[in-house]
Amino acid sequence: MSFSFNKKIGIDLGTANSLVYVVGEGVVLEEPTVVAVSLVDGKVLAVGREAQKMLGRTPGNIKASKPMRDGVIADYAVTEAMMRYFLRKVGAFSLFKPEVMVCVPAGVTQVERRAVLGATLESGARNAYLIEEPLAAAIGAGVPITEASGNMILDMGGGSSEAAVISLGGVVTFKSVRVAGNKIDESIAKYIRRKHNLVIGETTAETIKIKIGSAVPVGKEEYLEVTGRDSITGLPRQVTFSSSEAYEATREPLGKIIGMLKQVMEEVPPELSSDIIDKGIVMSGGTATLRGFDRLITQETGVPAFVAEDAHRCVIKGIGIALENIDLYRTSIKK
């Protein structure tokens, strides 16, 4: 790592994955938001990939958990330990404490906002800044947020989906729903249990979503062999799962995201509505990459939707750009 007097670091604390950006170096770290803690003395045993390997496999005295739930801190102490680990791993404490910017969902309460600031400062930051997730996603997607015209962003990660209309560097109107990648995985797991009497883990459900999942009916049927535990006999069993079943399994959570998107569109001032119809809806976050989701949104809303380039990294890229141009984005940043 290169040493500098004052490192500027951006952290995207996602429900599923966390990314770290260092000014001058770019995205330097991407790890699952999982922490393994000893129940005996409360010590953090592993973070990120190492901890993820322990999910569902830990003995009684170790707990592997996800400290972020629905985009906000669910376990303060564990989140702080995780952030300290990230900062140390990217060489943040070379000479001086770093300046750190963290993104938060647009709808967080003052208490949740203070919790993130507190965890950031406790983990070793000299200064802590917050930026709202839709703003960071829009900046990272290359949307000119400081202009006096409306831009719509739909950011969908692991824990929550947020739709926001942005103009003059601020959020004009927004809505969020605690439905995103994780709930889609859960829907797939529930569907398989109900239809095939097969119990599968979240990793298997996510694999199904990525490999054969689709937001719209697919032309050519695809199949995937899925292994799990038979819910009646308790023995391992394999079933063949089809893409049309995957489509059926994900309709409900996707419908909730679209319902939230429509609510935002109803609240948009008329002047900005015409801008959005002209420019379309920018989709960011890992869930945006679900096959056919952009087509489904266009069908349901009548507004063109398109997936941003490198969608799952839009937020961290936006945090990095905001950090590098703090004066330009000052109105969008909270301390």
- What are the domain boundaries of the chain? 8-31+70-135+315-334, 148-179+253-311, 181-249
Q: Does domain 181-249 have CATH number 3.40.190.150?
A: no
Coil, helix or strand at residue 140? helix
Show Cβ contacts of residue 311 under 8 Å, excluding neighbours closer than 6 positions.
141, 283, 284, 285, 286, 288, 289
The interaxial angle of helices 76-89 and 110-122, nearest 10 deg, is 40
Residues composing the chain: 335
Do the annotations mark residue 331 as ligand-binding? no
Do the annotations mark residue 158 as ligand-binding? yes
Q: What is the CATH number of domain 8-31+70-135+315-334?
A: 3.30.420.40
pLDDT tens sequence for the chain (335 residues): 344 457 899 999 888 889 999 998 989 999 888 888 888 887 888 888 888 887 777 677 888 878 887 667 778 788 888 888 888 888 766 668 888 999 888 877 888 888 888 888 988 888 899 998 999 999 999 998 888 889 999 999 888 899 999 998 888 999 999 899 999 999 999 999 999 999 998 889 999 999 999 999 988 999 999 999 999 999 999 999 999 999 999 999 999 999 999 999 999 988 899 999 999 999 999 999 999 999 999 999 999 999 999 999 999 999 999 998 888 887 777 77
Do the annotations mark residue 160 as ligand-binding? yes
Do the annotations mark residue 209 as ligand-binding? yes
- Write down the pTM of the prediction: 0.87
pLDDT at 199: 96
> What strands lie across the sheet with 99-104, from one edge to the other?
26-32, 17-22, 8-13, 99-104, 127-132, 333-334
Do the annotations mark residue 213 as ligand-binding? no
Do the annotations mark residue 175 as ligand-binding? no
Do the annotations mark residue 97 as ligand-binding? no
Architecture of domain 148-179+253-311: 2-Layer Sandwich (3.30)
pLDDT at 5: 59
Do the annotations mark residue 62 as ligand-binding? no
Intrachain domains 8-31+70-135+315-334 and 148-179+253-311 with the same fold: yes
Do the annotations mark residue 16 as ligand-binding? yes
